[in-house]
Each structure stands twice: as C-alpha cells, then as structure tokens.
Amino acid sequence: MSKLPAARRAGSVQFARAASAIALAALPILISTPAVAAETASTILKKMAGIYAGAKSYQATIKTIQNGKTQQGKPFTISQTEHVAYQSPNRFHKSVKLTGTGAAVAGPAAAQLAMRQGEIYSDGKTATMYVPARKIYQKQAVPATVLIAQLVDLLRLVPGAQRPGLTLLPTTGSSQGREAFVIELKPIQPKGLNTADMKKFSDGVKKFKQFPRFLVDKKNYNLLEYSIQTTDGGAVVDLQSQVFGGSIASSAFDFIPPAGAKEFKGTPPGQPGATPGGPGSVPGAPGGAPGVPPSSGPGGAAGPGGKPK
C-alpha cells in the first residue's frame, strides 16, 4: 500500500480535525433545537377556537345545503344563506334567507320555512329581531359581551378539543381552493348502557355514510366547512368570505323598521333560522344547529357533531 506524502497526510489530518470541530460545534445547536410537534385534532381545534374568540370584528357568508326525507318519506332540500357582521364586544347584524324544494315548500312546511327567515341587529344596547313573514320586530336588551359562536351556528357544532372520538384524518382536504385539515368525529358508545340501548346506539352508528367532518384551513386555522351524510340525508355548510379584523360601518348595526312593520312585545313568534315557529332568544343566536336535516342522523336525529341521541 502506498503512503501519502507527509504534506498530504498533514493536510488530511488538519481537514479531518476542522471537520470534526465544525460537527461538534453544530451538535449543541441540533440538540437545543426542539422538534416541531405534530398537529393533532385537539391542537387544531384549540387554535381555531382562539382565533374566533379573539376576533375584534368578523364578517362572513355562510351557506348550508340540507337534504333528507320527512317522517312520511317525502324528500326535501333546504338551502340557507346567512350573512354575519360582528364588532366586539356586542354589536352585530345577522340575516338568514332560505329556499327549498319538495316537502320543504309543501303545505305547512312552507310557512315554517318562511318563519325561519329574518334578521337580527344589535347596536350594543338593544337587540332587534325582525321576522318578514309577519312584518313584526321585537326588541330585547343585549348582554355586555356576545361571542361570534353565538352568531355562527356552525361554531356551536364544533366539539371540544378533548371530545372522545376526534380523529385527524391523514388525507388533506380542500375547500374554496384552500388546503385543509380534515377532522372527523366518530360517535363513542357511552359507558353503562344496557343491552337495549347498546343495540340502539349500534344501529344508529350504522346509519352514518360519513361521520361529521370539519375542514380547518391549514394556514390560518379558519373553519371552512362542515359535512355529514347519513342514510336519511345529509348536509354541507360552507363558511365563505370570512374577514377577521376588518372595518365595519356603525350603520350596519342599526335597525330601521321596514314600511308597515310593527313592534311585537309578547313572546317571540319565531326567530331567524330557529326551530320552525319556536320562540327565539335574543341576542346572538338566531338559528338552531345547522347541518342536520330534520329526519337525518341515527335514531331520526343527530345532535351537535352528529352524536346519536
């Protein structure tokens, strides 16, 4: 074996020492740099909740498409469009409009659909709910603080970060051209059920064609979409044109009675987006939980997040 000349051997030794010194110097940096924690369903939901809870102002258009069947087996579809404008701590305007097909616009259901439409305003002191179907409005005092989640029904469907059954799916979703995390909520059987109730729960879960899913923007953690599909029907809710922190004119929160409208001072006859014909509660939450048709979900209905009742 030939030997390297002394000069080359010295140079190789010096290079090796220099390389070792560089590697050793970099070691503390590598050791001290924390690994980036992997996202989980819980961490994503916590970040999302913080964004909505901390917003000083918020604007959005929310579109819901529901389809299902009545208890008599008659099909229907309902399309709902909401516009929300909010200014912290308690000024807001929300409008709700609906259209339907099939059983949703036949007979008494048509009147119920009309009663679910309307507007609610808060100027920071008084909340006013207006029901166009009856050309009446009602006023109530508004609390000192109103949360966005009280205005956006879909946010009340979002499960808590520690809710059992939450799963972050490995696939990447897409909504409105945005890449999104896909969080699925699978019903978990409660403890202590008797045999009969266990069977009801199992039968209910079998009715899901797709468990409730929440699509959360991968870049800004905004909630983009909710969807659910069962053998009885399904729904998709899209949160569009969301703006956080934008400027909103004060006049947007002022209610001006339409011509012919009268003030109603008894029990509210209905509330925009609420259970048909049911009394409304002001402020902040015109509307019941969206995303679940009247006869959909295990056992005939699905509660928040699609958990069978």
Grade residue 4 by pLDDT with cuts at 50, 70 and 90: very low
Mean pLDDT, range 16-25, rounded to an integer: 40
Compute the distance between CA of residue 292 and CA of residue 198 in angstroms, rounded to an integer: 23
Tell me the CA distances in angstroms from 296 to 97, 123, 260, one per residue in order.
22, 37, 39
| 17-26, 82-91, 120-129, 262-271: segment of lowest average pLDDT | 17-26
Given this model, what pLDDT does residue 124 score?
Answer: 95
Given this model, what pLDDT does residue 229 score?
Answer: 95
Given this model, what pLDDT does residue 267 score?
Answer: 61
- Over residues 241-251, the pLDDT tens digits come to 999 999 999 99
Token couple for 6: 């002394």
User: How big is the CA angle at 234 (ends 232 and 235), to the nearest 5 degrees?
Assistant: 160
Query: Looking at the predicted structure, is the pLDDT value of residue 27 above 80?
Result: no
CB 117 within 8 A of CB 98: yes
Give, for 8, the enclosing helix (H) or strand (E).
helix 6-32
Residue by residue, DSSP assigns 35-90 as PPPPP-HHHHHHHHHHHHHH-SEEEEEEEEEEEEE-TTS-EEEEEEEEEEEEETTT
Question: What pTM was computed for the model?
Answer: 0.76
Query: Looking at the predicted structure, is the pLDDT value of residue 51 above 80?
Result: yes
Percentage above 90 pLDDT, the chain? 65
Mean pLDDT, range 207-226, rounded to an integer: 96
3-state secondary structure 146-166: CCHHHHCHHHHCCCCCCCCCE
Compute the distance between CA of residue 200 and CA of residue 162 in angstroms, rounded to an integer: 25
Given this model, what pLDDT does residue 36 score?
Answer: 52
- Residues pairing with 100 in the sheet: 78
End-to-end CA, the chain = 83
Residue 228 has phi, psi (to 5 degrees) of -155, 145
Q: What is the architecture, at CATH level 2, of domain 41-304? A: Clam (2.50)
Give the number of other CB atoms < 10 A from CB of residue 237: 24
Number of residues assigned to the chain: 309
Compute the distance between CA of residue 37 and CA of residue 35 in angstroms, rounded to an integer: 6
CB 240 within 8 A of CB 62: yes
Domain boundaries, the chain: 41-304
User: How big is the CA angle at 250 (ends 120 and 131), to the nearest 5 degrees?
Assistant: 15
Given this model, what pLDDT does residue 38 score?
Answer: 87
Grade residue 35 by pLDDT with cuts at 50, 70 and 90: low
| 110-114, 143-147, 192-196, 281-285: segment of lowest average pLDDT | 281-285
Of 89, 109, 140, 97, nearest in space to 264 by CA: 140
Mean pLDDT, range 128-139, rounded to an integer: 92
Query: Looking at the predicted structure, is the pLDDT value of residue 290 above 80?
Result: no
Of 172 and 13, the structure prediction assigns the larger pLDDT to 172
Token couple for 142: 């508004």
Query: What's the mean per-residue pLDDT of the chain?
Result: 80
